[in-house]
Amino acid sequence: MSRTGKAVRTAFFGYLQFTFAFASGLLVFPFVLRTVPAQDFGLWMAAGELIGFAGLVDLGVLMTLPLLAAQADGRKDRVALRQLISDCLFLSTLAALLFLAVTSVLWNFRSELPGLAHYGDATLVFLETPLLVLAVGYAVALPLRTFAAVLTGLQDVTCLGVLALVQAALGLALTLGLLTAGFGLQALAWAAAAPPLAVSLVAVIRLALKQPDLLKEVPWPAWARMKVLLREGFGSRLGGFGWQLVSASQSIIIVRLLEPELAVVYACTAKLPMMLMQMVWLLTDSGLIGFAQLHGEGNQERTREVSRVMLRVSLAGASCAGVVVLLLNPLFVRLWVGEPRFGGIMLNALLAAWLLVATMIHSFSTQAASIGARFQVGSMTLVQGLIHLPLAALGASLLGLNGLLAGALTAGTLIGCSLQSILLSRCLALPGSVLWRKTVLPSLSRVMLVFLLAALASAWLSKQPAWYSAAGLLSFAVLGLVVLGPLLDGAPLPSFMRRLPWLRRTA
């Protein structure tokens, strides 16, 4: 199967998982609230933060391994693949032991932690068994995830896609079955710990059967190689922390500088845009492993062409998602949680703009990280996060929720887009002006035309009956085919779509 076919299949399984998670969440959450006392569940969520913080000891090694494995596979370097397996197994085993140690320390000092400090040991004792199950399950599965990461780098997409769906279904079955049987929080712990462990074991067997040479004559770990792996992984963690500063600081700023009730308004208004953003990112993220393999082969010109296609597809996807936000989000929020929870047309337009800017940053950064600049990408993302905080806070203090998004857009445009695009240009051995002049700006001109028309339409539709919004979306679907169609030139589309006249000429 070609890399394009594998990317399409990866996206297909990704959207299946997304749909399954969304549907099962609607089913499970109310059931949990009915079967677990509210205070117990609240304490479980607070204590679960222990596991989340302790999990940072991984340092991103397992996040980076698929890309490094893909590059080695592109070079047909089986020795390097065996070395990666050896080094990652050693580092992830150490991380698992450190994880257990950090979790134990945090639990012993639980009386000092926010969220648990007001409860005594007698109240929290019921959490010990489920947290032990969760911690041990995570620690045992951590080294085994090495093999699934290697399979990801080798693009065993069908097996991994099926395993991900099986993991989700097994977690749902365990949650419902054990809760019905009266296991309470232990049901949630086993449902979180057992499926990843089972899937990791299957991944070990899969690699042994399909790529047996990779598990023969595996070298001992070498510190010189592990330093490189740690450096690359640390870059991924820096990037994750930078995005955390951007995405998780909004509510904190609102509560600190505005009113707590406005945090709910912002969360409700941003629900659909954030969900659509993840769906847009999945479009091109599915091809990043193949992109890394292509770069590993050393075909620079083909790598540049694929990069251009991925950028255009990301912008087209962000444009379509932005139109949905502009035209349907006001109606969605009103039907979902009521009119008072909608933040207004201006906030909605700023959220649509943030969806576009964040997608551009994501596309620049993930491509650059896939072909080797992981530490630089992480560092620049951290810089964006650090600059985002004061700008968003200043905007919120001056203009409320609208100012908050204006500050985020300023930091994202001036810092995120500029720095990450420069880095991608260097990785592709291109002048930065060439990337913008030949790919980004021609595509943005089409995107901004659709955005402007949709923004004007949303202001008018806000005063019309609800069914007008659906009619407006259909109209923009036709407009999008004509205006945005050229952005999909070179994308893996069905043959009948490639013959359509408005898809034939590249922007």
The pLDDT of 84-92, averaged and rounded, is 90
Residue 53 has pLDDT above 80, yes or no: no
Residue pair 205/347 in contact (Cβ under 8 Å)? The answer is no
Instruction: Give residues with Cβ within 8 angstroms of 333, minimum separation 6.
Output: 268, 269, 271, 272, 341, 342
The pLDDT of 93-98, averaged and rounded, is 90
Residue 497 has pLDDT above 60, yes or no: no
Residue 187 has pLDDT above 90, yes or no: no
Q: How many residues does the chain have?
A: 507
| Cα–Cα separations (whole angstroms), residue 437 to 445, 451, 489 | 11, 20, 17
Q: Write down the pLDDT at residue 192.
A: 87
Query: Out of 77-81, 102-106, 120-124, 203-207, which region has the weakest mean confidence (pLDDT)?
Result: 120-124
Summarised one tens digit per residue, pLDDT across range 14-27 is: 778 877 876 776 67
Q: Write down the pLDDT at residue 158.
A: 87
Residue with the bigger pLDDT between 91 and 468: it is 91
Q: Write down the pLDDT at residue 52.
A: 67
Q: Write down the pLDDT at residue 297.
A: 78
Query: Out of 269-278, 311-320, 439-448, 465-474, which region has the weakest mean confidence (pLDDT)?
Result: 465-474
Q: Write down the pLDDT at residue 202.
A: 94
Q: Is 329 left (phi over 0), alpha (psi -120 to 50) or beta?
A: alpha
Residue 273 has pLDDT above 80, yes or no: yes
Query: pLDDT tier at 201 (50, 70, 90 boundaries)?
Result: very high
Give dist(CA 161, CA 202) in Å, integer.
Answer: 13
Residue 302 has pLDDT above 90, yes or no: no
The predicted model scores a pTM of 0.73
Chain-wide mean pLDDT for the chain?
80
Give dist(CA 358, CA 274) in Å, integer.
Answer: 10
Residue pair 492/1 in contact (Cβ under 8 Å)? The answer is no
Give dist(CA 389, CA 431) in Å, integer.
Answer: 31
Each domain of the chain, given as residue ranges in start order, spans 3-221, 233-503
Helix axes 78-108, 128-153, angle to 10 degrees: 160
Q: Write down the pLDDT at residue 506.
A: 44
Residue 298 has pLDDT above 70, yes or no: yes
Q: Write down the pLDDT at residue 501.
A: 54
Query: pLDDT tier at 461 (50, 70, 90 boundaries)?
Result: low
The pLDDT of 433-451, averaged and rounded, is 85
Residue 507 has pLDDT above 50, yes or no: no
Q: Write down the pLDDT at residue 155.
A: 82
Residue 272 tokens, joined: 């659909």
The string of DSSP letters for 152-192 reads HHTT-HHHHHHHHHHHHHHHHHHHHHHHHTT-THHHHHHHH
CA dihedral 79, 82, 83, 87 (to 10 degrees): 180
Q: Write down the pLDDT at residue 394.
A: 92
Residue 493 has pLDDT above 70, yes or no: no
Residue 206 has pLDDT above 90, yes or no: yes
Q: Write down the pLDDT at residue 115.
A: 46
Residue 205 has pLDDT above 90, yes or no: yes
Query: Out of 76-90, 121-135, 455-469, which region has the weakest mean confidence (pLDDT)?
Result: 455-469
Sign of CA dihedral 459, 354, 315, 276: negative
Residue 465 has pLDDT above 70, yes or no: no
The pLDDT of 313-335, averaged and rounded, is 86
